[in-house]
C-alpha cells in the first residue's frame, strides 16, 4: 500500500526545482544553493524521493581528475506525474476556496452590530 502524504514545502521546492531543470540532471549541492536549503535537508528529501521512484539518480560519467564522480538527480516520469497531480489538486482547492468566498455574503462594513 502506498501512502499519500502531503509533501512538505521543502520537498515541493526540490521537486519544482528538479522539474525546472531544462538540462535534466542536477547536483545535490547545486539544489542546496539554489533553494537556500541545508544539505541535511535536501539529501534526505532526495533519498526519500528516489526510494519512492519520483527521482532518478545516476553517477557522473565524465569526471575531472582529482575528484570522485558526483551523484546526479532528475525527476522521473512518476515524479512528473506526481507533480502534475499535486498541481491539479492545488488548483482544485484554490478554485473551491474562491467559489466559496464569492458565494458567502460578507457583512457590509459599518453595519455589524448596528
Number of residues that bind another protein (CB under 8 A): 18
Cell matching residue 64: 575531472
The rounded distance, in Å, linking the Cα atoms of 66 and 81 is: 38
Please pick, from the candidates 19, 52, 70, 74, the single residue that binds another protein as defined by CB under 8 A. Answer: 70
Report if residue 107 touches another protein, rule: CB under 8 A: no
For residue 106, the Cα-to-chain-centroid distance in whole angstroms is: 35
Residues in contact with another protein, shown as a per-residue x/- string from 24 to 63 under the rule CB under 8 A: ---xxx--x-----xxxx-xx--x---x-----x------
The rounded distance, in Å, linking the Cα atoms of 46 and 48 is: 6
CB of 46 to another protein, least distance (A): 8
Sheet of strand 55-59, all strands in order from the earlier edge strand to the far edge: 26-27, 71-75, 55-59
Q: Which is nearest to 73 in space by CA: 24, 4, 36?
A: 24
Please pick, from the candidates 68, 105, 107, 113, the single residue that binds another protein as defined by CB under 8 A. Answer: 68
Whose Cβ is closer to another protein: residue 64's or residue 105's? 64
Catalog residues that contact another protein under the rule CB under 8 A: 27-29, 32, 38-41, 43-44, 47, 51, 57, 67-71
Amino acid at each position: 500500500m502506498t501512502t499519500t502524504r502531503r509533501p512538505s514545502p521543502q520537498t515541493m521546492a526540490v521537486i519544482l526545482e528538479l522539474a525546472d531543470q531544462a538540462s535534466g540532471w542536477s547536483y545535490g549541492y547545486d539544489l542546496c544553493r539554489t533553494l537556500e536549503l541545508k544539505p541535511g535537508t535536501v539529501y534526505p528529501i532526495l533519498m526519500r524521493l528516489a526510494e519512492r521512484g519520483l527521482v532518478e539518480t545516476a553517477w557522473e560519467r565524465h569526471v575531472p581528475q582529482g575528484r570522485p564522480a558526483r551523484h546526479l538527480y532528475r525527476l522521473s516520469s512518476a515524479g512528473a506525474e506526481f507533480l502534475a497531480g499535486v498541481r491539479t489538486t492545488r488548483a482544485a482547492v484554490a478554485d473551491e476556496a474562491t467559489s466559496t468566498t464569492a458565494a458567502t455574503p460578507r457583512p457590509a462594513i459599518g453595519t455589524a452590530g448596528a
